[in-house]
Structure 1
Amino acid sequence: MSQNIPRFELQDNEQVRVSSILQRHVPKYFPTHRHNYYEMVIITSCEEGDFSHSIDFVSYPLLAGRVYFIAPGQAHAWNVKSYSGEYEGYLVTFNEAFLLTGNQNLERQVLKLFDPLNSEPYLEFDPSGFNETFPTMKLLEDEYNKEQSDYFLLRSLLETLILYMKNLKPQGNDKIDLSCQRLVEARKQIEKYYKSERNVEFYARKMELSSKRLNEIFKEVLGQTVTQVLHHRLLLEAKRELVSQSKTIQNISDELGFENPSYFSRFFKKNEGVSPTEFLKQMFK
């Protein structure tokens, strides 16, 4: 039987949502799912125990003092069979239309925080000083819960919250900042062409850089080569399509630009350690 990944959406009349984890988790439990919005998972407290969640099939412990960032389209799952308040915090979700219209500086910050290639998709803070670290969180929650909340005030408070997140990021030098700007542009090209173009030279030409310099930028900022990033993106999309169970391996292989399903399966096993079929068995065991 098909077990398609459920997809959650924010409707046009609900462009932002602010709630406690307790409000959203009880009485429902959500398995692996995707959504069309950005989500920040802010953990303010957590009891001792084996509590975790997964972002794009990688498991992360739920620890007090962490903010996780989940971008639209990423697969997310709470790895708990039941929930009765063992961990607490906030879920802040918003769509692109609510926040990113016409604000390039804020858009750049959101792209950095929610970059699916971040090896650690979270920031850390001192949970004992939560109110001092995020002084606008309570204001944002109170405004959202009003019977008639002010759209422009909500937007301003959410922008401020995200800018406070920026204070938790290590401050790079100008060289790194310039590299990040080039990386963002290169990532846009990869996102557009990764299914059909595997050659580093193709992306270097798009960026008007040499292949060597483009690889240097990727290594400097991400610690990965362009080819490694391309393979990561292909593998991630393959996992998403496999778990959705809406397409055959032949269809996925074709859509991702592989010569045949056998080549696709070899690529998948080399990078994931298991075959596509074994990966599916692990996900739905």
Structure 2
Amino acid sequence: MSSTYLPPLLGESVHEVFYPDVQTTVNLFAIHLRSVAADWDYPAHEHPQYELNYVTEGEQWMTVNGQIYKQKAGELLLIPPGSIHSSQSRNDQGFTYFCMHFDIDDQLFLSLLARIKQVLFSSDSPVTQKIEPVLRKLMNTAPHPTPSAMVQRMQLQSAVFELFGHLWEAVSQEVAQSFTDSYEKIELAHQIRNRLQGLVSQQFKQGRETDTHYGIDDIASELGISSSHCNRVFKQVFGQSPRVVLSEMVLHEAKLLLVNSTRSIQQISSMLGYKDIAHFSRQFKRWSGVSPSQYRLERANEK
């Protein structure tokens, strides 16, 4: 069933705090811990996912988009999607490394990662120090499989989400260094993002219209900043305007309702704050390229 939640009407709650919704899909590929010999030479290749590569023993010589990186034990490589890279042993010595490829549908997380131009992180960098303990946890699960494959998979996913949490925090700090106001802008952008999520979770689902400023002016006023500053800071951090991110949130909610509920498109339109189903249909098609009914039919045929 859909995760849609209908909150009480305004004024019925004495106090409440909205936590961010968790509606993220993570795909993990080719996770492995490998020791290689002195003649190791992996040819140039690319893939559409991010790659985390961590050397535990020896040295790896990794070429990424023509740039050679000498990766020592305890150092981390974060290779962006589409990067052409190859790996070699040198100095007549092998090495051991842990590698995982990941894809995540959280556009804010991806936009933040995309702002990191650094590929190699030393053992004493904040990024490496944040996620190294979780990488060790992941590596330690390999030699000791649990009796249940399902349990092992859940433990792996739990560790990966912990890793992403630390990676998000570390990357946020890295990005903050590029701003004159340092971490304060990152914190403000996250506050705006959380209020956008609250707007989707509460205002839209109480039948308010979605076509009047999208609530951005109100959010800026509540935070004591101008609308222009609100838009500027948010876009600096996440690479997208609040309006675009809010549209993506509403689209995601609409897709969940269309696929995971038996509600009519008229009901879904009303739940998301549209008084006119035709307006909702036009907006949905502009967002996704297909009508709500066509999207529902296509997803049903995939099951």
**TM-score of the aligned structures, taking structure 1 as reference length:** 0.50
Which residue of 2 is the match for residue 254 of structure 1?
A: 270
Q: Is the 8 A contact 1:44 1:66 kept in 2?
A: no
Deviation at 1:201, TM superposition (A): 0.9
Q: Report the CA distance shift for 1:144/1:164 in structure 2 as closer, same or farther (over 3 A).
A: farther
Deviation at 1:203, TM superposition (A): 0.9
Whether 1:179 and 2:185 are equivalent positions in the alignment is: yes
> In structure 2, how many angstroms separate the alpha carbons of the residues matched to 1:120 and 1:223?
6
Deviation at 1:39, TM superposition (A): 7.3
1:44 equivalent among 20, 30, 38: 30
Q: Report the CA distance shift for 1:137/1:45 in structure 2 as closer, same or farther (over 3 A).
A: closer
Q: Is the 8 A contact 1:204 1:210 kept in 2?
A: yes
SS in 1 for 2:108: coil
> In structure 1, how many angstroms separate the alpha carbons of the residues matched to 2:25 and 2:165?
15
> In structure 2, how many angstroms separate the alpha carbons of the residues matched to 1:41 and 1:247?
29
Q: Which residue identity lines up with residue 220 of structure 1 in the other structure?
A: Q
* Mapping for residues 1-285 of structure 1, pairs under 5 Å: 41-44=27-30, 63=49, 65=51, 115=106, 117-119=108-110, 134-140=135-141, 145=146, 161=163, 165=167, 169=171, 171-172=174-175, 173=177, 174=179, 175=181, 177-194=183-200, 195=204, 196=208, 198-285=214-301
Deviation at 1:187, TM superposition (A): 1.6
Deviation at 1:164, TM superposition (A): 6.3
Q: Report the CA distance shift for 1:216/1:176 in structure 2 as closer, same or farther (over 3 A).
A: farther
Deviation at 1:136, TM superposition (A): 2.8
> In structure 2, how many angstroms separate the alpha carbons of the residues matched to 1:64 and 1:200?
32
Q: Is the 8 A contact 1:243 1:283 kept in 2?
A: yes
Q: Which residue identity lines up with residue 249 of structure 1 in the other structure?
A: I
> In structure 1, how many angstroms separate the alpha carbons of the residues matched to 2:160 and 2:31?
22
Alignment RMSD (CA, Å) = 4.7
Which residue of 2 is the match for residue 82 of structure 1?
A: none
SS in 2 for 1:268: helix
Q: Which residue identity lines up with residue 281 of structure 1 in the other structure?
A: L
Larger radius of gyration: 2
Q: Report the CA distance shift for 1:90/1:146 in structure 2 as closer, same or farther (over 3 A).
A: farther
Q: Report the CA distance shift for 1:234/1:281 in structure 2 as closer, same or farther (over 3 A).
A: same
Q: Is the 8 A contact 1:45 1:64 kept in 2?
A: no
Deviations 1:7-42 (A, max 9, x none): xxxxxxxxxxxxxxxxxxxxxxxxxxxx97977644
> In structure 1, how many angstroms separate the alpha carbons of the residues matched to 2:240 and 2:22?
28
SS in 2 for 1:43: strand
> In structure 1, how many angstroms separate the alpha carbons of the residues matched to 2:140 and 2:113?
23
Q: Which residue identity lines up with residue 146 of structure 2 in the other structure?
A: N
Q: Which residue identity lines up with residue 257 of structure 1 in the other structure?
A: G
Q: Is the 8 A contact 1:43 1:62 kept in 2?
A: no
Aligned residue pairs total 188
Q: Is the 8 A contact 1:45 1:65 kept in 2?
A: no
Q: Is the 8 A contact 1:114 1:121 kept in 2?
A: no
Deviations 1:118-158 (A, max 9, x none): 346989999xxxxx9623312256678389xxxxxx9xx88
Which residue of 2 is the match for residue 108 of structure 1?
A: none
Q: Report the CA distance shift for 1:249/1:231 in structure 2 as closer, same or farther (over 3 A).
A: same
SS in 2 for 1:137: helix
**TM-score of the aligned structures, taking structure 2 as reference length:** 0.48
Deviation at 1:214, TM superposition (A): 0.3
Q: Is the 8 A contact 1:5 1:244 kept in 2?
A: yes
Q: Which residue identity lines up with residue 117 of structure 1 in the other structure?
A: L
Q: Report the CA distance shift for 1:162/1:257 in structure 2 as closer, same or farther (over 3 A).
A: closer
Question: In percent, how many aligned pairs have the same letter?
Answer: 20
